[in-house]
Amino acid sequence: MEDERWREMLVAEMQRQGSVHENAIARAFLAVERHRFIPDVPLAQAYADRAISIKSTDGETLASISQPSMLARMLELAAIEPANRVLEIGTGSGYNAALIAILAGAGGLVVSLEVEGDLAERARATLEASGYGGVCVVCADGYEGYPQHAPYDRIIVSARANDVAAAWWDQLRDGGRLVVPLDIAVGGEYAVGFVRDGSVLRSVGTVHCLFLPLRGEQSAVTAERVFLRSKSERYATHPRGVQGIVAVKTQDASPELLERADVVVAQPQTTFALTWD
């Protein structure tokens, strides 16, 4: 089939460029028919390694189907295992939810939240028609999570945030992973993979990224405070790459965080301690 050949070429290109290392993730991309989630797009474009707008208003893109290579990198950070309970924030087209469903397997649970009602309905129908009817698509504010099936082994956020929402803290089990594109105020935007260690989130990897903002009741709430270990960091217009991030609830943050980090960014819910390469 022609679409199968396009999927094979996409996966081969992602492996060549180093976006895909795990065989399980390669198999997922080979299995999920991306063109079904963007039916009005020609096959050559549907399987190009780029994001495609799926909803816009007055020329502004509100939602997109993400670039496959970026999804692959985030899925590798998530390290989804069979039978995992996974919460996705930002369903969009439903394509990533299908990939997650394959990785979690028949014994897993995938809940995907989408704030736009029309997108949630369309994604639910496409997933059902494509054989992924087990994915639970809910029209809801992603910042609130979905406590009905918590705690989750993995939480994957498919839109840019500047904080870790209180609900995500509450609904991620100890030892679980959170993957979220973060605008961390200094150094740019990174998709960060965190592992929860009690009351602390510790990064296990970061990838430069560019995502649309997460929409919801808390999307306009930002009150960041930036603390620098050295004055020279204040004038670093091109900071080095992020080596690691430690995150704690802001209510639990202590001055010792700054002693072990180059920069500390305090948001209303979460305080992030960053070290540079």
Residue 60 pLDDT? 87
Output the CA–CA distances (angstroms, integers) from residue 268 to 3, 191, 196, 225, in the order listed: 46, 20, 19, 9
Residue 228 pLDDT? 57
226-142-194-185 Cα dihedral, nearest 10 degrees: -20
Name the residues annotated as catalytic.
66
User: Given phi > 0 = left and psi -120 to 50 = alpha, else beta, which region is 108?
Assistant: beta
Quote the CA–CA distance of 15 and 9 in Å, as a whole number.
10
Residue 221 pLDDT? 56
| φ, ψ at 111 (rounded to 5°) | -115, 130
The sign of the dihedral angle between the CA atoms of 204, 209, 210, 211 is negative
pTM of the model: 0.93
Amino acid at 92: G
Instruction: Report the 10 Å Cβ neighbour count for 200.
Output: 14
Q: 212: which 2 tokens?
A: 């649309």
Quote the CA–CA distance of 14 and 122 in Å, as a whole number.
28
Mean pLDDT for each consecutive 10-residue tract of the chain (277 residues)?
Answer: 93 96 97 97 96 90 95 98 98 98 97 97 98 97 97 97 96 98 83 97 95 79 60 49 90 81 89 86
Listed in sequence order, the residues at least 6 apart from 6 whose beta carbon sits closer than 8 Å to its beta carbon are 35, 43, 44, 46, 47
Residue 255 pLDDT? 81
Class of domain 76-276 (CATH, top level): alpha beta
